[in-house]
Amino acid sequence: MKKIWLLYVSYCLLLFGYFYWLYPLETLGDTRYGALSHAFYFAMWPLELLVFYLFIKQPTFIEWVERFQLPFVRVIAYVTLVIIVNNFFHWPFRILWYFISREEGVRTQAFGSWFWDMLQSSFLLWLALFVVVYIAQKVIKQFPKWWGLVLWGLSIPVVIFVVYVQPIWIDPLFDDFSQLEQGALRENIEQLTERAGLEDVDLFVVEKSEKVSTYNAYVTGLFDHARIVIWDTTIHGMENQEILFILAHEVAHYLFQHVYIGVGLYVLLSLVLLLILQRIGRRWLRERKQSPSFLTVTKLLLVTVLLMMLSQPLVQYVSRQMETAADQYAIRHTENLEPARESYLNLARQSKTDIDPAAWIQFFRSSHPSIAERMERIDRAME
């Protein structure tokens, strides 16, 4: 185990050395912030694997969990221990990144408020993992041959429910939302949505200025809770024509049903992953009608994390295709593209991002086309 951690430390040192001194960063600011964001991302990338590997190699963790008599309590103890160990390795990176972001002016949130958000996120992760482990043990015991398929069937309504309630219950835990006020901007956006054939679109503003200085807008929710959300930093920091171009992009997501497509593809991907897990887990689940041990649960979770990591480039590729389609729609439905181009420049300046990341970074990390690619698309349309 010591060799694994020594290898990981060496990996991190090489990673940060490369991105801080050698990586050819393209950014609109005199800073290495964009390169460091890549370093932190890839440094934390394998940590979940290492956490579960630690549980497998150190039997003390599993032995402590199995001391409890009640199965329900054992699951609580196991999940709590996993979250504590996971945070032990993740939080140093996140705290350091918080202070770097504050120093660069990208983040404005006070440390106490930020840490409270971290605790809330950890609790939601604990709750999700508890439900997964508890139900999975029951299902595997009851359906030892087809548990993957059964879990997939049970997950479909859960996924739809979570996506449905996220803008109502989950997002407001972290930020304050309000209806976009009446005024010139709202009137222009409503004209935009009407031209697109959308009626009664819910337009919300989320208060982000107390946490970040960057700009954003997005589409979220399902059915009657689908909505377009604009960050207040975007409203205060951009001109109306720039905002309208960004909103045309979000309208495209709305029109093209990208939220529904994303949910559908996630459900399909989860079926593939669960069937692979079911096949791999056969040799670990030889006893019939027995709940899997927590060592077996840990092995299954490790393989799950590994499969999700391997599938991530595909997920990012699909996301980039959706974003490209939305960009193309926004370009076609915007008469004056100068503000559109300026909106991307503002996004890049404010976020201090890497505007043209290396192809391998886009492959593993990028859910959107690069700023350079998006600006080039606008330049071609202007020509």
How many domains does one find in the chain?
Answer: 1
Q: Is residue 274 part of a domain?
A: no
The pair of three-digit structure tokens given for residue 215, joined into one six-digit string: 């700009």
Residues 6+ apart with CB under 8 A from 183: none
Give the burial class of 370: count Cβ atoms within 10 A of its Cβ; 0-12 exposed, 13-18 middle, 19 or more buried. Answer: buried
- Structural domain contains residue 198: yes
Residues paired with 107 in a beta bridge: 212
Enclosing domain of residue 220: 177-255
**Would 206 be classed as within a structural domain?**
yes
Question: How do residues 153-162 score in pLDDT, each as one tens digit?
Answer: 999 999 999 9
Cα–Cα distance measured from residue 337 to residue 69, given in angstroms and rounded to the nearest whole number: 66
In a domain, 235, yes or no: yes
What percentage of the chain reaches a pLDDT higher than 70?
A: 99
Tens-place pLDDT, residues 150-209: 999 999 999 999 999 999 999 999 999 999 999 999 999 999 999 888 877 899 999 999
Which alpha helices (H) appear in the chain, and where do they start and end? 2-17, 33-44, 47-57, 59-65, 71-104, 111-142, 147-165, 184-195, 232-237, 240-255, 258-280, 294-332, 338-351, 359-365, 371-382
Q: How confident is the model at residue 287 (pLDDT cuts 50, 70, 90)?
A: low
Question: Taking 90 as the threshold, does the pLDDT of residue 100 lie above it?
Answer: yes
Q: Is the dihedral of CA 312, 317, 323, 325 positive or negative?
A: negative
Angle between helix 294-332 and 240-255 (nearest 10): 120
52's CB contacts (< 8 A; 6+ apart) are 82, 298, 299, 301, 302, 305
pLDDT band at 40 (very low <50, low <70, confident <90, very high): very high
> Does the residue 228 lie in any domain?
yes
Residue 34 lies in a domain: no
Whether 187 is in a domain gets the answer: yes
Cross-strand partners of 229: 204, 218
- pLDDT for residue 112: 97
Residue 236: Cβ within 10 Å count: 9
Instruction: Give the pLDDT of residue 285.
Output: 79
CATH number for 209: 3.30.2010.10
Question: Which tens digit of pLDDT belongs to each residue from 297-351?
Answer: 999 999 999 999 999 999 999 999 999 999 999 999 998 999 999 999 999 999 9
